[in-house]
Amino acid sequence: MNNITTDTILESISDGVFTIDNQWKITSFNRAAELITGLKRSQVIGLRCHEVFKSNLCEGNCPLEQTFNSKKAVINQNGYIVNLEGERIPISISTALLRDENGEIIGGAETFRDLSEIEQLKKLRAREILDSMASNSVAMQKVLAMVTPVAQSNSTLLILGESGSGKEVLARTIHSNSHQKEGPFVAVNCAALPDTLLESELFGYRKGAFSGADKDKIGRFALAEGGTLFLDEIGDLSLAMQVKLLRVLQEREYEMLGSNKSIKTNARIITATNKEIEKLVAEGKFRQDLYYRINIIAITIPSLRERREDIPLLADQFLQRFSLLNNKAITGFTSEVYGCFYAYDWPGNIRELENVVERAVVLTSANRITTDDLPPEIACFDTKTTATAYSESTIDIEVAKKQIEERLIKEVLEKNSYKIAKAAKELGIHRSTLYRKMEGLEIPIKESQ
């Protein structure tokens, strides 16, 4: 044990370590440093460290320089270096001063840990957070109750809902609960491509099928084999493309462009649109036979303003996701932020909420999101109608939820002339539950029922 040297220890650890002298010249460079950077120690010994490392910390925020100036170690400062292949490698850096037996500073040491795997795990965790579906809303819970039985079927599914309401997330959830969950989930936005490109994207093409087709290309139907093909914005398909898609759904086979050989498909088809598709059928803009083919099972996702109870849940999911991706330790939102969230109508639905939370996470330097971090159109709401619900600094999320529930119940009651049975049906609750909520919220029961 006494024969083990410092050099032996440094060579055995997985963290990169290098040392410099007082002229910033590298004096040692361990094996892990070679592996992480792709540089050999013979190439770097004697060079100044800023001549060797391509890092975002070398200009103006050098951890070693901080240590030399403050005489204090830097612990786990995040940054990145660029390796010989031009790849950005996330690292965690710690530094310390080197002293001789008399206590004189003779240089510095820096250790750096490759965080690539941790960053990948973060991204996977962020993806899980983004794709997870949970709800406190009665309307949305009815949708989620359909996931399991629908997932067990191979029937074509139509998901309806406003733009940004979460149609693709629902499709992914159904896929992950289906018999095809081990297969791929392939998404195509039908509105994003013109017919010529969409046809080749869906069905693929053979070499020589058209000018520029210098090799075979498989389409999305082939990529989705054994899994799920999600056709988003299907209401934007041209009539010509509708005919081609109808044949695939009827015959369960298709032909690549430039080929006359039919290919069978077993991909589960899930379609979605934000358009009033029955109106399109009536106007002759969507084929009735295709509508019947995709409308075997239909699920309508409520807009975010119809499921305001889910705002805290969704906002917290997005906060977790973007805090992970941005390496920030943000604990939550202030009650005033929730007040703004509840008061806003969210025309862009969940996607807009996601963008607002991402913006706030990027901009904030605090550990909680405040109204200062919100865009003006959301931060500025009608204080006359919401001040009592949201302006108190001591308000908590339960109080905010109670206030918005009261407002929604009153709106639905007024809309239905205070007829309890109709109002309860629209709210998706039993009339006895509505009576109980009205009593708890001190909403008077009017004579006209």
Distances (CA, A) of 249 to 230, 264, 279, 292, 386: 13, 11, 22, 11, 51
- Identify whether 128 is part of a domain: no
Q: What is the CATH number of the domain that holds 67?
A: 3.30.450.20
Kindly tell me the burial class for residue 311, based on how many C-beta atoms sit within 10 Å of its own C-beta (0-12, 13-18, 19 or more): buried
What burial letters (b/e) apply to 315-325, b meaning 16+ CB within 10 Å?
bebbbbbbbbb
> Does 276 share its domain with 314?
no
Give residue for tokens 């969230």: 341
> What's the order of all strands across the beta sheet hosting 26-29?
26-29, 16-21, 105-114, 88-99, 74-82
> Does 297 share its domain with 323?
no
Are 232 and 272 within 8 A, CB to CB? yes
Q: Among residues 301, 331, 366, which one ends one of the domains?
A: 301
- The CB density around residue 299, as the number of other CB atoms within 10 Å, is 21
Give the span between the Cα atoms of 219 and 197, in whole angstroms.
Answer: 11
- Identify whether 436 is part of a domain: yes
Q: What is the CATH number of the domain that holds 383?
A: 1.10.8.60
Give residue for tokens 């999320």: 397
Nearest to 336 by CA among 289, 369, 376: 369
Strands, DSSP E only, in 16-165? 16-21, 26-29, 74-82, 88-99, 105-114, 157-160
- Identify whether 91 is part of a domain: yes
Give the span between the Cα atoms of 94 and 390, in whole angstroms.
Answer: 44
Distances (CA, A) of 396 to 15, 134, 346: 45, 21, 22
> Does 190 share its domain with 98?
no
> Does 287 share its domain with 329?
no
> Does 39 share its domain with 162?
no
| Structure tokens given for 200 | 């080749």
- Identify whether 93 is part of a domain: yes
Strands, DSSP E only, in 154-273? 157-160, 185-189, 204-205, 217-218, 228-232, 253-255, 262-264, 268-273
DSSP 348-396: THHHHHHHHHHHHHHH--SSEE-GGGS-HHHH---HHHHHHHH--TT--
Q: What per-residue confidence (pLDDT) applies to 400?
A: 58
Each of the 449 residues of the chain gets a pLDDT tens digit; together they read 444 566 677 777 878 899 999 999 999 999 888 888 888 888 889 998 888 887 777 766 788 888 998 998 888 888 888 877 777 788 888 999 999 888 899 999 999 988 877 776 665 554 554 455 777 788 888 888 898 899 999 899 999 999 999 999 999 999 988 999 899 999 999 998 888 889 899 998 888 777 777 788 889 999 999 999 999 999 999 999 999 999 999 999 999 988 888 999 999 999 999 999 999 999 999 999 999 999 999 999 999 988 888 888 889 888 988 888 888 888 889 888 888 898 888 999 999 999 999 999 999 988 899 999 999 888 764 433 443 444 433 344 556 566 667 777 887 888 888 888 888 877 767 777 788 888 888 888 775 54
> Does 151 share its domain with 296?
yes
> Does 110 share its domain with 176?
no
Nearest to 189 by CA among 154, 223, 230: 230
Q: What is the CATH number of the domain that holds 162?
A: 3.40.50.300
DSSP 221-241: HHHTTTSEEEEETGGG--HHH
Q: Among residues 80, 114, 148, which one ends one of the domains?
A: 114
Q: Checking DSSP bridges between strand 332-333 and strand 368-369, what pairing results, if any?
A: parallel
If one counts the domains in the chain, the total is 3
Enter the DSSP assignment of 48: B
- Amino acid identity, residue 40? K
Q: What per-residue confidence (pLDDT) applies to 326?
A: 83
> Does 265 share its domain with 326?
no
Q: What per-residue confidence (pLDDT) applies to 369?
A: 93
- Amino acid identity, residue 313? L
> Does 261 share its domain with 330?
no
| Structure tokens given for 209 | 């099928």
- Identify whether 239 is part of a domain: yes
> Does 97 share its domain with 208?
no
- Identify whether 283 is part of a domain: yes
Question: Which H or E element spans position 51?
Answer: helix 49-52
- Identify whether 120 is part of a domain: no
- Identify whether 348 is part of a domain: yes
pTM for this entry: 0.60
Q: Among residues 248, 279, 301, which one ends one of the domains?
A: 301
Boundaries of domain holding 258 = 138-301
> Does 102 share its domain with 143?
no
> Does 161 share its domain with 203?
yes
